[in-house]
Structure formats: structure tokens, C-alpha cells
Structure 1
Amino acid sequence: MSGLNKITIERNQKTLLELVVKPGNDICADCKARNPRWASHNLGIFICMGCASIHRKIGTHITKVKSITMDAWTKEQVESMKSFGNIKSNAIYNPNELRYPPPPNLMDAERDSELEQYIRSKYEYKRFLDKSALVASKLGPSRSASSVTSGGSSRSVSTPLTTTTSKPHSLNSTVPKEVQDVPRPSAVVQPPASQPRSVSQPLLMMQQSRPRTQQTQPAPQPKAVPAEGVSNPRNPC
């Protein structure tokens, strides 16, 4: 921290004091005590002095605690506090405070024990964690928004799946080579089936080709003429 000059330290402290009075940051993120003056910059939360001592006990691999008025802050640490804050951090580490509320106000010894167990469960063991909100916070606003749309409306825009048709295996791949060398018989071409001829059609043609016979009438017989000199026996002279 020796590289930070006085002007930078004062500017960062002023920014922290502006952040801590915002709604949600003005109460402790864990026990809900008012006017917190400590913060965990890697978790992005403002906490009271009692919860800060528990955070220190847990270890810096989980939470890194600083005083917003007595310690020097870097620009990156202040930016982390800007990005999160109590409301956003609690939405990740304990989104359902009605189901997992902080311990009530009991006697100091009992409350400290229950409060430590609550804080460890919240940050160290992550028993109340919302994993989807944690992933979205790490991706950032632009990438997290795109991931949300890809889960819903952008599915219709996704590229269609290409279906690949598998080629049928050749018979030569499964038939032994000795069988492959045998010449195959040529295919016998069968003549097309003859269609049955209609019986009525030839008869009709034969009837049309026959010449029509004219009906012959018998010739009229000549009348008998009586011979001359022959007398009619029926007419006597």
C-alpha cells in the first residue's frame, strides 16, 4: 500500500463512504445491524464490527476484511464494492433469507456462536448459494445477459442440426474374397406377359369381312300353253 498516495487514499475512502449509505449497504449484510463500518472487498459486502471479527476468523481464503475508514483501499478493491454491494451479494449467497434468516438477538455468547455458524454456512460452506446467480456475476452483465437469452428466445435462432445419412455398407465388405471372384450369372430377361386377346374382336372382324349373300328368289314357272290339235279331254267336241 506504500505506492498509494494520500490523494488516492482519500478519494477511495470518499467513494466507500458514499457507497455505504446507499439502501441495502447501510445495514450489515449478515446480522442486519445499522451503520456498518467494515467491508469484505472480495465478497463486496458492508458488515458491522462484530461480523467483521467472525470474517477474520474464517480466513482470507474466504473473505478479506477491511475498515472503510482506517485502512487504505486500492482502486480494484473499491471497484469490487461498486460492482456488488449487500443486495447483490446476498442475492447470490443467500437469496432466500426468509428460509435461512440470520440468528435472532439472543445473549452475546449464544448469538456469537450461532452467528459464526450462520456466516460460515453462508460463505465458507455455501449452503444457501444460488449457483446461477454466481455464474452470471462472474461472467459480467453482457455475457450473462447473452447466456439468459440463449436459454430462452435465442433457441429459435440457433443453427439447425444437420442430419447425416449413413451410406449402406457394400456387400463386398462382408462377403469373402473367394466368393467375390465367382462370376455372377447374367440376369435372365423374361418376356413380358402377353395380354389375353379379346374373343369378341376377331369374331366381329370376321363377320365384317364376309361378303353379304343376296337372297335369291325362285324363278317364276312359265304357264303351260295347250298344244295345237290337242283337244281338251274335259271339253268334248
Structure 2
Amino acid sequence: MFLILVVLLLIFFHYINLSGFFRAPFIFFQRNFFSRSLKIKNFFEFFSSKKELMEENDNLKKINQELLLENKDLKISREENKILAEQMDFLKKKDYNYVLSRVVGKTSVDPFVLGNLILDKGADDGIKEGYPAIVNQGFLAGKIIKVEKDISYLNIILDNQSMIAASAGNDAEGIVKGEHQLSLVMDFILPDKKIEPGDLAVTSGLESLIPKGLAIGKIREIKFNPGDFFQKAILDPLIDFDNLQIVSILIPYENN
């Protein structure tokens, strides 16, 4: 009797598909679990991908900065080569004795004031006080005012303490002085001497260590009022001192 009852129950469960009834919740749970697993996986893959993109972006920025620095160095090298070529051409034509020197610093702590420039050549290289330093096609940069064993100090022509014997026009002579490291003034020009804007002021040769004819600046303006004893000329400098890197220090042959 019991056996017959069991058989009847199995037949009943088969026809009403009770096994599917119990399996449905399991399938629902499995689908939800799989869906959430995919979302979690995609979440971590997104952040992993984002991290890789950020690292790649940082690497590209670093490479770009390196390329910019290389390009800047290349540009500086080209400019230096151009300046050196001009200096060598001028020095060869004039047959000057010289020592090439790099600007390695300045004495002023004020970033807006150049002060005296520090050069990488000194007494061991034959440098002495009073020697002139030039750039380009014979543009006067200044005079050496102090010398140590392996460095020297250049007083640039824009400095208030700088004074250079100069001439302009036909035979006008005077003294060129620096004006607050911004411009130049040629003073003590006799009133009967003719000078004009655009005239080039050059070294007069009255200073024993400075050759005649080194360019100092161009006359921009002339100041002379009735009753003045001398004319005064405002000059524009020919040198960009903020970017000055290499100079040639002229050495008299008799000092060899």
C-alpha cells in the first residue's frame, strides 16, 4: 500500500513539474548574481583602464617637456654659434688678441638688476683689470674691474659706475655713462660739435687698453639748451645684456 502511494506521488509531481517550481528561484538568483558580477568586473576594469590612461598621459607630458628642453637647448646652441661666428669674423679682421669667456653669474641679488657680470676666465688666463669685453661685430660690453685666479668681474656699460671715452659724428668726443642699467648717456660734448640721432657712438681710443672704434650705442636723442656748456646725447645700447652668454676679452699683444 505504501509503495503504491509513493508511486502515485512521483507521478503527480512529474505532471505538475514541481522540480521546475523549485528550480526557478535558483535560476533567478543565478542570473542576478552573474549580472552583478559583470558590473563589478566592468567597474574595476574601468578604473584600471583610467589609471593606465593617466600614467600614459603623464609619460607623454614628460616626453613633451624633454623635447621642449632639447629644442630650447638646440635654439640656444644655434644662437651661440651665430654669435661666436660673428665675433670670430670681427676678431680675425681686426687681428685682436682675445680670450673667449662665458657669463657664469652676476653680483647683484636683485633679479631686476644685472650689476657686474661674473666671467669664467681670470688671472690664470691672462686677464687683467681694464681689459674690454666685446660681443658680435665689436660691440663693447664693458670693462674688467676685478680679477681673481679663475674668474673676473665685468662692469657692463649700462652700469652707473661705467665711464667710457667715446666719439660720435665727425669728431665729437665725450664720456659715455650708464643710466640705471637701462640706457646710455654721452655727456661733455662740446656745443659746436655736430651730432644727430642715428649716429653711432664708438670708443675714441683715448683709453690705452680699449681699441678705437668699438661700437657702444646709437644716438636716440640730443639734449642741449641755451646756456648749457655741453651737449648731451641719449644712446640706445646695441647689446641685449639680459641674454648675454659669451664675450671676448681683448688682451693687448704687449702683455703676452
Larger strand fraction of residues? 2
TM-score after normalising by structure 1? 0.24
TM-score, normalised via structure 2 length: 0.23
Highest RCO, 1 vs 2 (Cα 8 Å, sep ≥ 6): 2
Pick the structure with greater CA Rg: 1
